[in-house]
Chain A
Amino acid sequence: MERRTFLKTVAAGIGASLVGTAAEAQKPHTAKAKRVIVAGAGITGLCCAYELMQHGIDATVLEASGRYGGHVFTGHDGLSDGLWADYGADHLTKPGYEQFFRYVEAFGLEAVPYPNAEGSPLPANNGQLTQIGGKFYTDAMLAEPATLKALGLNPKEVTFLSERRWYELPALYLGDYLARFHDSSQPFGSGFDELDAIDLDTLYAKQGASKRARDYLGGQHVNALYGLWRFAVMKDRGIPLSEGETFHLKGGNEEMPKAFAARLGARVRLNHPIAAIQHDASGVTVTYTAFGYDEPQTMRADYLVNCISLPLFRRIALTPALSPAKQYVVDNVAYSSHPFFIFEAESKFWLDDGFTNLAMSFEHADISMAWAVPEAPASTRVIIKAFGPSGLSPQRVLAAFREVYPGKRDTIVQALTYDWSKDSFAPTCEMEPFAPGTLRRFWPEIMKPDGRLYFAGTYADALSRGMESCVRSAARVAKEIADA
């Protein structure tokens, strides 16, 4: 694809989607109908096949595992009263999930407010507690100049944070840069290309940020140009530094993969792992096996969209091999992966301790954060989610919670987790930021097809940000194929 056309398509973003239209019925079929194989039935693959269907294109989804949804996984086992917990994709934001919310509306799903999701900021002084140096601070305390000074923040930061929220801190150091970032459709060309060489933490340090501020901001090992560009894209999409209001789907976020799959029907083939892909100028031939059979079968199509996370996609033999530039991307995109720990409690025990909310961050090695999930109407029991290191048993994380929880007692009666590091099919979550000095090797190659092979997933959008980047990239690729 011509670079200009390509960037235009990227910039077109959500406009690329045909969600909620009757395009499938309306679009006249061309002389030769296109056939597409979608590899992977995670949210990206399901969305891509759905979008292709909307374009009047025949798509088959081959999924290696016995369930669809991948890292979007709502679990019920072990919980009472029909309660559930999202073990993978946790929440949606408003703004920031425009494409996703189009599907919510089109499929008649319901998004439920889910404040403090994964520690997202609550309205000021709404009960959030942060442990620093063993002591718990309220938002009001963290805005007092004397407290801020004692924490080691510099005078500029003290003034800023006495008037603004902590999550706005990047604006203090990046505001001028962002004002001059004039083309957020790509990282390069806005006058900051040299920032590719350093990390974001170095950029903050150069501008005199205190150690405390830098610890809060993160940014070590994060490509500074990539970090700045992210903020520029967020700004253009109207996403505030708070990351917006948070929601989840009623019944769990897996309702979205289920809604796509319901519309795709028999187009989704579970337990059909792909072993090899041959591709040439006219199409692709995929070798796969059906569940329980050893004999390989083949399927021919005009295009293949890879919606499998790249570490697992590498297990598929490609003939011919990818171009060196694309292979670099496939071999070097780094992912994050973390578990949630789920506690079921008999009541909102924190109210008895005088806390308006369970929205706390901790300094304990085995638990860094805990927050309450909005209660289900049919139950008086509550779900609490917590962050802790993968591989730990839920009981150990619960013991850590009981060590650091500042109240007297809790009513937790169950502790669960799902260890993604042991999941053979969807071990990874989101893309990690690019390392300093590498952005030119990733961008724009990361968005491009390699011949008849297209790529969609959380990494294949200008803003890698949860499920929204999955569905945006899926819709973009579906349109590119429809237009090809």
Chain B
Amino acid sequence: MNLKLPGWSLAAGSAFSFAVLLHAAPAARGVQVDITGPADGSRHAWNSQLSYAVTATYDGKSTKFDELPANDVVLRAAYVANVDAPSAHGASALPDAIVQISQSNCTGCHDFNASSAGPSFAAIGKRYSGDANSVAMLAAHIRNGSTGAWGGGTMPPHPDISPTHASAIAQWIVAHGNDPAVHYSVGKSGSLRMTAVGKPGPDSGVVLSAFYTGPLKAGDSRAAAGRTMVVIRGS
């Protein structure tokens, strides 16, 4: 763990500072993320639902005590045909679009895969898949709002989302929003579904990866210590 504690060496010899150091050790500055459920290696039936729970700590603050808001946590559930294949365990980074989605109020109205106050990202991705102009159009809708683009609802403007971030979100929705193999959840707890793509084999399963998506101090990395990945086998 990379502890950046300038000045500690000056007082490291005193019993007082040693005690403080011991006490301070868990409040490390780096990102720590732990999937506390479901259990790694557990088996769950295809099409069943299961609860998940994640804790995140960063800069001495924890989701446990709401010092970090629940939407600073994102869980990714990726279907893999063979959970034992090394590629299934490769830690791929979280797309920046998902970080932006979790940090804005997007999920107050949009779910990833089902209807809410707005259409799901999957439904938007499906409608605009292959439409070259759609990214710019959706990015404009995110920034400026829209009416009547989808049902009778109104998309409010989001001047707080920069044009670059709006474009990244739109790009992700069109390219990956409707990916049947990958599902995202924002929040430190919730449910997920054991969804297979096609007919699952005996070694097929779902790989869960948890991420901290909150603000970072200059120089810090999103790369987290802890049980950030859990493999579930389908049955």
Contacts and interface: CB of A to CB of B under 8 A. Distances in A.
B48 A319 contact: yes
A317 B232 CA distance: 16
Interface string B146-165: 00100111101110100000
Interface string A366-407: 000000000000000000000001111000000000000000
A286 to B, nearest CB: 12
A336 B115 contact: no
Contacts of A389: 145, 154, 156-157
Interface in B181-215: 185, 187, 189-193
Given A315-B187, A336-B153, A420 B47 contact: no
A419 B152 contact: no
Contacts of A314: 111, 114, 191
| Interface hub of B109, B157, B158 (most chain A Cβ within 10 A) | B109
Contacts of A390: 156
Contacts of A392: 156-157
Contacts of B48: 319-321
Contacts, number: 105
Interface in A295-318: 311, 314-318
A187 interface: no
Contacts of A320: 48
Contacts of B114: 311, 314, 330-332
Given A276-B51, A389-B156, A428-B116, A422 B191 contact: no
B50 A423 contact: no
B157 A435 contact: no
Contacts of A316: 51, 191
B108 interface: yes
The majority secondary structure among interface residues of chain B is loop
B64 A294 contact: yes
B56 to A, nearest CB: 14
Contact of B153 (A317, A421, A432): A432
A422 B49 contact: no
A236 B116 CA distance: 30
Instruction: Classify chain B: how many residues form its interface, as a range.
Output: 35 or more
B53 interface: yes
Given A220-B152, A424-B70, A432-B151, A391 B157 contact: yes
Contact of A427 (B50, B109, B145, B190): B109
B50 A317 contact: yes
Interface in A439-455: none
Given A334-B116, A389-B145, A420 B157 contact: no
B65 to A, nearest CB: 9
Interface string B62-97: 001000001000000000000000000000000000
Given A318-B49, A391-B158, A334 B115 contact: yes
A153 interface: no
A235 interface: no
B105 interface: yes
A305 to B, nearest CB: 19
A319 B49 CA distance: 7
Interface in A38-57: none
Contact of B191 (A276, A335, A429, A435): A276
5 tightest A-B contacts by CB?
A: A421-B108, A317-B191, A331-B114, A389-B156, A337-B117
Interface of A: 218, 220-222, 273, 275-276, 287, 294, 311, 314-321, 330-338, 365, 389-392, 419-424, 427-429, 432-433, 435
7 contacts: A314-B191, A335-B115, A389-B157, A391-B160, A421-B108, A427-B109, A432-B153
Given A273-B189, A334-B151, A421-B105, 18 more contacts: A221-B151, A221-B152, A275-B189, A276-B50, A315-B185, A315-B189, A317-B50, A321-B48, A321-B193, A332-B114, A332-B115, A334-B115, A334-B153, A336-B117, A421-B117, A422-B108, A429-B117, A432-B153
